[in-house]
Structure 1
């Protein structure tokens, strides 16, 4: 019998996708499921994006591109940094990737060697931990329970115990939605530089920050790596298109690795993504619906005795404590789906220590569906 590699055995299942699959099975059985489990916009990509893709598809020939991406898209991304953040970024420092997932792989492979110690936050996106582990890197998880986001003091403390080679963090964060104030981000960037820690800033939920303006790590240093994506604000999850902002010294190494791993991101998706920056009015209307759904959940969850574990600053998530009802969030979520048709992600994906007591609700759904989910949960918890 063929044996799994030791590295493959280190990868934990992504339980949120198991919930997603269970919700789909329930739908097929005729259940009216309201999925608040997966961080996927309920709206399609903007019309201009779809039109550009259709036009290119009609031409018939879809080709490879340069590994770093089409010049027109790299330039559009660079202009976005000037328009949105007031930061000058050269298009030569932009690498277009097959979604943010490819960006993480390229960053890890280009920046770290086998056995290097890299910190992530807890709770945090499980793919960080899994990819780092399968690449043979040592993972250190830093709790953000006290403030909701990573602080420079926490970084100093962890590094003092055993030196770190790198740090990956997100703001706004998945699963909590908590975001880092600009001054805290600036301090974190400065401290990491002083300690010789390489920084990767996951900014895929930018433009979905409801508590404060977006702050990019690139504003405070040219020596950080930023990863972003068209999946979330731009409603392009399945298009698999993202980008990296790189220090000049990493551009060629990332390009070399990308040439072998991916050749290039999809040409159709790249051409379509150029148009995404022109669709702000359409996308901000969707963002406004997220904001309405956010307010519904922010008000309802504490009243349902599901207190928030972090501020709902941004992204489209609410991370809450279910310990008043259960110490097994997986069982709680399974029963809730079966008895109410409401799906949520279990905390065990995001926090291997305390996740058995937490759930993540995604509010990508339209406000009326979120309101219906809240009503179902209210009746269910009351009945129980």
Structure 2
């Protein structure tokens, strides 16, 4: 007799994590498959964590987060702290949000390619997912014209900018049009903004600039280099605060206390200087890839406007990106992500490279790739 639920049996594996596990078994691995900054949390945050560990008892905090952190996040987004819900990473934010707004069978739109955890979590919760194919013609971003063709009107739509896996940023005017369309048709706009702060010259707007009904998802993992601290947040309309509080009280009780208190220092000028220096490092790594990859025959991609990913068309080399990435890791020790994680249909022709690593790692990976590709 099997005790495995039908729900869990339908959840696809997160292949990036499988490749990461295989890479960690090698001493010579160059890990460019995962979106984890090689940089450290800001010095003031680490200093504060030591202080709170030494001087205070860390127990449960309010479910919605400590007031001081909700205030800091609100100031960061020019929002009301009463509308801020602090969560255990943005992953926890998405689970709570999906539970709060979607019933089984409700329709939600996500772009393809897109972040696989959206799809897998939504599938486990019984939502009806509508793929919105987005390619190079729209720089892998949704448009109102594409959304307007979906019938019946979906209950929610997810926009990610800067995008994962492509790194593209949605045009502010298009985001405005999408926000207004969502309000007109009664569709909830969910704006994944966890890569805000990491951009390379292109303007990066927030959905909150155009709609008070939009939900913003944020995180300390990417720009703030605090992946393991597991803190994210939602900024939501008034009517969603209480349902989310009730859900979070049962799902997580509260976000991690030590992370919350230490994170108060993440928003200081001293921390921002360090974090902006990290972005400058990512920009240099990006420049190396933009220069080196085309000469290897890997030049078919949308140059990333933000975040730290390149999504590369390798259809001239393979129609099985997962096998291709496995072979690359086996032969060279270079770990990159197969596109099928992000697009179960066309992703077999794409791979994703993460460049939030040291410049030395990027250059070494380019050398190994060039030799392997011949």
Distance 1:19 1:162 in 2: 39
1:366 matches 2:358: yes
Distance 2:311 2:201 in 1: 16
In the alignment, what sits opposite 1:379?
371
Distance 1:196 1:310 in 2: 32
Distance 1:226 1:277 in 2: 18
In the alignment, what sits opposite 1:321?
313
Distance 1:308 1:113 in 2: 40
Q: Which runs of 5+ in 1 are unaligned?
A: 82-87
Distance 1:156 1:124 in 2: 19
Distance 2:179 2:189 in 1: 8
Shift of 1:21: 0.3
In the alignment, what sits opposite 1:2?
2
In the alignment, what sits opposite 1:47?
43
Distance 1:60 1:218 in 2: 36
In the alignment, what sits opposite 1:104?
94
* Contact 1:308/1:318, CA 8 A, preserved across alignment: no
* Contact 1:229/1:241, CA 8 A, preserved across alignment: yes
Shift of 1:249: 1.2
Which secondary structure state, in structure 2, belongs to the residue aligned with residue 25 of structure 1? coil
Shift of 1:281: 0.5
Distance 1:365 1:169 in 2: 26
Which residue among 327, 337, 345 is the counterpart of 1:345?
337
**Structure-2-length-normalised TM-score:** 0.97
Shift of 1:224: 0.8
Which residue among 217, 220, 224 is the counterpart of 1:230?
220
Distance 1:198 1:184 in 2: 16
* Contact 1:306/1:324, CA 8 A, preserved across alignment: no
Distance 1:127 1:310 in 2: 23
* CA deviations over 1:363-384 (Å, ceiling 9, x no partner): 01111210111111011101xx
Distance 2:347 2:299 in 1: 14
| Segments of 4+ moved more than 4 angstroms | none
* Contact 1:222/1:247, CA 8 A, preserved across alignment: yes
Distance 1:318 1:280 in 2: 25
Which secondary structure state, in structure 2, belongs to the residue aligned with residue 96 of structure 1? strand
In the alignment, what sits opposite 1:85?
none
Number of matched pairs: 370
Which secondary structure state, in structure 1, belongs to the residue aligned with residue 25 of structure 2? helix
Distance 1:312 1:2 in 2: 45
1:298 matches 2:290: yes
1:138-287 matches, within 5 Å, as: 138-145=128-135, 146-147=137-138, 148-158=140-150, 161-278=151-268, 279-287=271-279
Larger deviation, residues 364-373 vs 11-20: 364-373
1:15 matches 2:11: no
1:66-105 matches, within 5 Å, as: 66-81=62-77, 88-105=78-95
Distance 1:119 1:298 in 2: 31
Shift of 1:301: 2.0
Distance 1:214 1:169 in 2: 13
Distance 2:298 2:241 in 1: 45
Distance 2:54 2:363 in 1: 41
Distance 1:359 1:46 in 2: 31
* Contact 1:170/1:202, CA 8 A, preserved across alignment: yes
Q: CA 1:326 to 1:337, structure 2 compared with 1: closer, same or farther past 3 Å?
A: same
In the alignment, what sits opposite 1:61?
57
* Contact 1:307/1:320, CA 8 A, preserved across alignment: yes
* Contact 2:290/2:303, CA 8 A, preserved across alignment: no
Shift of 1:60: 5.0
Which secondary structure state, in structure 1, belongs to the residue aligned with residue 36 of structure 2? coil
Shift of 1:274: 1.0
Q: Which runs of 5+ in 2 are unaligned?
A: none
**Structure-1-length-normalised TM-score:** 0.94
* CA deviations over 1:100-152 (Å, ceiling 9, x no partner): 01110111111111110101010000000011111110001101102121111
Shift of 1:216: 0.7
* Contact 1:110/1:254, CA 8 A, preserved across alignment: yes
* Contact 1:39/1:364, CA 8 A, preserved across alignment: yes
